[in-house]
Structure 1
Amino acid sequence: MASQFGLLLRQWRQRAGLSQEALAGRAAVGIRTVRGLETGERTDPRMGTVRALADALELTGAERVELFSAAGRDEPLVVEPVRFDPLHEAAETLKVAIEARWRREEEQRQVHDPVPLPVRWDEAPATWMDSRLNIGAEGALGGRLDQVVEVYRRVGSRRLVVLGRAGAGKTVLTTRFVLDLLGARNPADPVPVIFHLGAWHPGRLGLRDWLAGQLTRDHPFLAAPGPGGGTLAAALVDAQRVLPVLDGFDEIATGLHRQALNALNTTTLPLLLTSRVDEYRDAVEGTDVLTSAATVVLADLTCDDLADYLPRTTRKTGPGGNAWKPVLDEVRNGGPLAEVLTTPLMVALARRIYSDTPDHDPIALLDFHEPDQVERHLLSSFIPAVYGVHAERVQPWLGYLADHLTRLGTHDVAWWRFGTSSVVTGMTVGVAVGIADLALEAALLGGLAARGVAFAVMIGLVTGVLFGVAHRFVVSRTPIEPVRTRLRWRGRAGRRVWSRGLLGLAFGGAVGAAYGLVRAMAYWLVTPGFEMTTGVLVDVGVFGLVFGFGAGMVFAVVAATEAPLDVRSAGSPDGLLAANRRAVLGLVAMMVPVFAVFVAGATGAVASGLTALRFEVVWSPVTALSLGLVGGIGGGLAYVLSLTAWGQWVVFARVWLPLTGKLPWGLPAFLDDAYRRGVLRRAGAVYQFRHARLQDHFARLR
């Protein structure tokens, strides 16, 4: 008969919508414990068990007292209210975002449809991991997917390495680890966050700094100031409020694995690290094991695993029953299928091609007699199975995408890295500025004169060259990254205002001098008797100063109004793209009017002064307005297209690459569609191919 404790436990568990298994996982206790307490078979729970159950059920203070009293405890636990802590608030917000993201990913990958594949692992050879005395491991380290948090918690150092061959299920394991750990998390526990190590260069950036940078990329709200003067992201990492789940040690650039392992050994951060076996073993043999880390190796799927999984993925029938029966019979007999269908990746491809696609019979797999043939067939059949009649049109685009990533040495489809050509950037800027100038002159002057056309052509050419060179200079030193700020007035901007102002002064002065030179040359071409030397000196000096001070003022104002993006801007590539578009357009909406008014007013004042000094100056209010608008709009266009991540996205992903047929015109919709079809996956603010094997396959077909 159930006790009062058991009745309360069942009542509050059902109210929370949890099964006994889910409550056990969230509280990190055994399912038998929960079942026994509810049925009354266990009547004397330990204080720690009651506390874990109360935390998992998120009971109120009064409910906790009632539960502890029902357990027969004289001194029920009193939970002290958590004082306001910016790191606590940031961690809780991050936890919600992480949990929502990876639940969506599991649904997208059909991990639970119909059931998860049985990922299992065994303890690695002793030579691949540190001494058990340093690890502090309790008991055996072998286990299965639903025990990953339990096994991790057996490791006293909280440092675990998971090894496996390509497609063995490392990504599935990391996702499940994060979700299970979040389900059992107490407010003071760190938030597990998956970081893809392929983007880390250990020689350029320390691990903690890189982790903080990745956090701000995927969660821009963490760029806000944190305790100690750094960002919230850096503070979370330093305070160990984030548990790094480092996926893909093998994806670090060739030749850097040993350096990366040495860098990992300089930290004591709790972590979970995944890698292919060969790359990690070679790094260990060349340096040392990961300090205080336990190591496990993922096991292959068995014939029984396949027999339990594949028939449940389809209702198709064939000779002798389920359509998969001939394949399973062949697997039991050994041969190429038995060798290939041992990893979750290959099984998932086979399932997608044959179980989820009408008129595809898995018996076709029996036609292949070598393991390589089977793998190539599964990889090459995936896109036709996913896209159907559109596969032939889509495959070249995916091939370009994979080849582009391979050339960059990354697995991240980052929308701000679709091109770095300074020539293309300069051409686009030149055309855009030239057209803008023609349109403005026609609107203000009621038509186009020969001088106006000549000026538009020349200013477009010079602006394109200048901003192309600036783009080359900036990109060669620091790759352009997404804008992580929006405009909001801040009382303190400090040193950044001065540095940005000086940068604007220098760059604006150079552009203004070039503008003055082109203006004088255009006037000389269509005006007989024009004094070239004097005109050049005056125009270069005037516009150099005016544009320089105008740009300096604009850059300083922008620096003083920057504030971090809020959390709603994060969560997906499309979300970050939209947030950056708004940020850049907001920036331009501020820059253009301020710059235009300043240039118009300043040139008017200078012209009046020169006239008073008996210089012959061709000037009118319309001329001043035209100069202000051309400088503001043209400069804004040039800046956006050449020196912002969103502008580079427009230049390459929206214009150049579709124009040359390498990618579709509707690239965002194409990427989102590929994600929904299971070809790509989301990893924070970037996409990735579902697996590195698919990227390699498409890149070879390019």
Structure 2
Amino acid sequence: MAVAVWAVIRFLSGRLTTSDQIAVFGLLIALLPAAGLAAKALKPSADVDLANASRKLAEAVKASEVALRTQLLGGDNQPIDVAFTFDAVPSRVAVGAAPTGRLSEIGDYYRRLQPRRLLITGAPGTGKTVLAIELILSLLEERQAGEPVPVRLSLAGWDTTRALDTWLADELADVYRVPRATAKYLADQGCVLPVLDGLDEMDTRIGDGGPSRAAAALAALNQSYVGRQRAPVVVTCRSTTYDALTAKIRLLDAARIDVSAVTVEQAQRFVAARALNPQQWQPVIDAARGNPHGPPAHVMSTPWLLTLAMTTYEAEGDPTEILHFSDREALRSHLLDRFVPAAVELHKRAGNRIYKAEEIDHWLGLLARYLTDNARAARTVHGHVLPSTDLVLHRLWPLAGTRARAVDIVITCVAGLAIMASFQPWAIRGIYAALPRAVVALLIIGWIFASARSAWPTPKNISLSRLRTLDGWRAVIGSVTFAFIAALAFSVAIILSIIFALGPEFFIVDTMVGYMIPLAPIALIGGIAFGLRRNLETTAFSKGPNYLVWADLRSGVVIGFSAGAASFMARYFVSWSIWIDEMFASAILFAVLGGIVWAGAWRRYFATLLCMRRRLPWRLGRFLAWASEAGLLRVAGNAYQFRHLELQDHLAEFAAARENDTRATTH
């Protein structure tokens, strides 16, 4: 590599005779096979270390689930130790299921099953997701080498026309920091235990004669094997939904456990631990104990309803108001109506900033209605099932319709044209100047075309930490070497064709400079960009939903800055006339423009905000993070979700009613 650079500099100096120039190029040709072997040797290893990949995945899953557990428990670490019972069926049941169990025993309960297939059912709000999280954390804490890593996934996002392993691999790549090839290998080798949350969220209605995604999911799980046994899996579902499904299909070779209602004694302990004034709740507890079927007992029966009621009355009011209701659903609706303002008030008392009440209602209602409409209509866009529970920033563009993609393309075109305008082939005149401009123009046009075709861009992240390893340096150096080989080979081919066609007397320095100057920076830019893009850029890891789009932008900026710096370094070595501050300013310009062009996920998010600027907050990610801190949303991997599906449905209905009232008033 060093010899090749020396030869190019000597040649461009213009001090060589024609015979010397031919000798230099002969040296370069002789170096090509050696350089090719070096590039091949520098290629990073593609072997997958299953043990190391599984360990890293387990660490990432544990961190994510601990955070979600804390959030679901309202910042506490002690869940209600709910009981569950084994629902035996006549045949095709996992062996080893005990008749009863408790949340604190769920890990041991699962390990006794053969095969390890578990179905968790229960009424809305009974804590199915918390039970699944407890199982995941228990398995991770006692995980032995070679055991699969439990990973919780939202079933609502599974397009059942795709194979389970394919979807699982995509989720590992999208939500966790797993390269796609590694994710596919982990899924194929049975290194992942799918914990599939929300079978009931796949369809809005069951048993109406229409196609059922939930039934298709169960059919796929029944066809999944590891050796001679059906593959291990954990599924959560509402009892009523699963009961309706069992008329046609059920999860085979699995133990079904049904989560029991919270007892009055458990509710009393929960209130004593959480309430500022537990004595205010004593009349409600006494009423629940006296009438197990009344509204007070209903509120005390599930962790979700208990949390709903306590949040409401801790903010304002007297909990004995519950005693005035004679209808369960009326009480439930009343608590849901008051939950958002109550949660906001408590968040304000803790010293946090708040938004205007009407803004919160409008924004959350719009997002809730979008998710609920997706579920009811089973909407798909460009091969992807639109989410019914997940709010992922760069995938919210269907809210704005096709306008978001059109604006995305316009942004790409403007940034691309700016890059083309700023690219000047230094010291080149005439026909030779067309070569670099044509190359850059073709690259920009190709990228614009790719942006137009990509409906669902994936956020990326430059993993600069890989440069601490030998493989990381091999990745970049190998790509730069390959790019220089290609540039030199192209130059030699052009020059030799001139020599053979016109004779050695036409082998002049101007001809050489005309081709070498534009190719040198293109080779350096292409090599560095290709090395970063192919070998150091990975799917962005979800350190939080907002991190994804900003990691994607950072990836684009790093590549743009590297391209700009490489381009102007090449100019410096060719002309020796550029100042360092000018080179740095140009690199910054390339960083901004390159970041916009390269960062597809961030650009799609930005385009969505432009299209929805009067209907959603400009800093949408910041608002959703605030709503999560206030207890209105929860974080699940790379997505925000409403605290509970009931809250989402309630806000969606409220938003629809408000829109209908507005239309009626207008007309």
Give the distance between the partners of 2:200 and 2:51, measured in 1 at CA. 33
The count of corresponding residues between Structure 1 and Structure 2 is 502
Work out which structure has the larger RCO, using CA pairs closer than 8 Å and 6 or more positions apart in sequence: 2
> In the alignment, which residue of structure 2 is the partner of 1:481?
458
Q: Deviations over 1:622-647 (max 9, x none)?
A: xxxxxx99x98998577457xx1111
> In the alignment, which residue of structure 2 is the partner of 1:426?
406
Q: How does 1:285-434 map to 2 (within 5 A)?
A: 285-286=247-248, 288-316=249-277, 322-331=279-288, 332-333=290-291, 334-355=293-314, 357=315, 359-388=316-345, 390-406=356-372, 407=374, 408-420=386-398, 421-427=401-407, 430=410
Query: Tell me, which stretches of 5 or more residues in structure 2 are unaligned?
Result: 1-46, 205-211, 225-229, 346-353, 375-385, 425-443, 465-471, 487-517, 572-585, 656-667
Match of 2:475 among 487, 490, 501: 490
The structure-2 alpha-carbon separation of the partners of 1:111 and 1:117, relative to structure 1 and needing over 3 Å to count, comes to: farther
Q: How many angstroms does 1:413 deviate by?
A: 1.0
Give the distance between the partners of 2:54 and 2:446, measured in 1 at CA. 44
The answer as to whether partners of 1:592 and 1:633 remain within 8 angstroms in 2 is yes
The answer as to whether partners of 1:353 and 1:382 remain within 8 angstroms in 2 is yes
Say yes or no: does 1:98 pair with 2:61. yes
Q: Deviations over 1:410-458 (max 9, x none)?
A: 21111111214443443465478669979998999xxxxxxxxxxxxxx
The structure-2 alpha-carbon separation of the partners of 1:635 and 1:352, relative to structure 1 and needing over 3 Å to count, comes to: closer
The answer as to whether partners of 1:433 and 1:634 remain within 8 angstroms in 2 is no
The structure-2 alpha-carbon separation of the partners of 1:652 and 1:689, relative to structure 1 and needing over 3 Å to count, comes to: same
> In the alignment, which residue of structure 1 is the partner of 2:578?
none
The answer as to whether partners of 1:198 and 1:249 remain within 8 angstroms in 2 is yes
> In the alignment, which residue of structure 2 is the partner of 1:536?
none
Q: How many angstroms does 1:278 deviate by?
A: 2.8
Give the distance between the partners of 2:78 and 2:592, measured in 1 at CA. 58
> In the alignment, which residue of structure 1 is the partner of 2:33?
none
Give the distance between the partners of 1:554 and 1:184, measured in 2 at CA. 48
> In the alignment, which residue of structure 2 is the partner of 1:265?
222
Say yes or no: does 1:663 pair with 2:616. yes
> In the alignment, which residue of structure 2 is the partner of 1:280?
242
Say yes or no: does 1:195 pair with 2:153. yes
Match of 1:672 among 611, 614, 625: 625
Give the distance between the partners of 1:386 and 1:112, measured in 2 at CA. 13
Q: How many angstroms does 1:575 deviate by?
A: 3.1
The structure-2 alpha-carbon separation of the partners of 1:426 and 1:465, relative to structure 1 and needing over 3 Å to count, comes to: farther
Give the distance between the partners of 2:544 and 2:85, measured in 1 at CA. 35
> In the alignment, which residue of structure 1 is the partner of 2:137?
179
> In the alignment, which residue of structure 2 is the partner of 1:585?
557
Q: Deviations over 1:57-103 (max 9, x none)?
A: xxxxxxxxxxxxxxxxxxxxxxxxxxx98211122222222222222
> In the alignment, which residue of structure 1 is the partner of 2:662?
none
User: What stretches of structure 1 move > 6 A for 4+ residues in a row?
Assistant: 435-444, 464-470, 491-494, 550-557, 592-599, 631-635
TM-score normalised by structure 2 residue count: 0.65
2:651 alignment partner AA: F
SS at match of 1:323: helix
Q: How many angstroms does 1:238 deviate by?
A: 2.6
> In the alignment, which residue of structure 2 is the partner of 1:110?
73
Q: How many angstroms does 1:199 deviate by?
A: 0.7
CA RMSD of aligned residues (A): 4.4
The answer as to whether partners of 1:218 and 1:571 remain within 8 angstroms in 2 is no
Give the distance between the partners of 2:477 and 2:529, measured in 1 at CA. 12
Give the distance between the partners of 1:486 and 1:244, measured in 2 at CA. 27
SS at match of 2:457: coil
1:670 alignment partner AA: F
Say yes or no: does 1:250 pair with 2:200. yes
Q: How many angstroms does 1:177 deviate by?
A: 0.9
> In the alignment, which residue of structure 1 is the partner of 2:110?
152
The structure-2 alpha-carbon separation of the partners of 1:207 and 1:429, relative to structure 1 and needing over 3 Å to count, comes to: closer
The structure-2 alpha-carbon separation of the partners of 1:94 and 1:471, relative to structure 1 and needing over 3 Å to count, comes to: closer
TM-score normalised by structure 1 residue count: 0.62
Give the distance between the partners of 1:348 and 1:374, measured in 2 at CA. 14
The structure-2 alpha-carbon separation of the partners of 1:409 and 1:493, relative to structure 1 and needing over 3 Å to count, comes to: farther
Q: Deviations over 1:204-248 (max 9, x none)?
A: x2111111111111222x206xxxxxx222222233222221111
SS at match of 1:412: coil
Match of 1:652 among 596, 605, 608: 608
Decide which moves more: 258-267 or 424-433.
424-433
> In the alignment, which residue of structure 1 is the partner of 2:644?
691
The answer as to whether partners of 1:164 and 1:275 remain within 8 angstroms in 2 is yes
Q: Deviations over 1:3-54 (max 9, x none)?
A: xxxxxxxxxxxxxxxxxxxxxxxxxxxxxxxxxxxxxxxxxxxxxxxxxxxx
The structure-2 alpha-carbon separation of the partners of 1:96 and 1:292, relative to structure 1 and needing over 3 Å to count, comes to: same
> In the alignment, which residue of structure 2 is the partner of 1:227?
none
Match of 1:574 among 540, 546, 549: 546
Give the distance between the partners of 1:700 and 1:693, measured in 2 at CA. 11
Q: Deviations over 1:113-148 (max 9, x none)?
A: 484223221112416xx434xx2225x242111011
Give the distance between the partners of 1:635 and 1:596, measured in 2 at CA. 15
Give the distance between the partners of 2:240 and 2:335, measured in 1 at CA. 24
2:358 alignment partner AA: E
Query: Tell me, which stretches of 5 or more residues in structure 1 are unaligned?
Result: 1-83, 225-230, 445-463, 502-546, 600-627
Q: How many angstroms does 1:385 deviate by?
A: 0.7
1:216 alignment partner AA: A
SS at match of 1:563: helix
The percent of aligned pairs where both chains have the same amino acid is 27
SS at match of 2:454: helix
> In the alignment, which residue of structure 1 is the partner of 2:41?
none
The answer as to whether partners of 1:253 and 1:409 remain within 8 angstroms in 2 is no
SS at match of 1:285: coil
SS at match of 1:275: strand
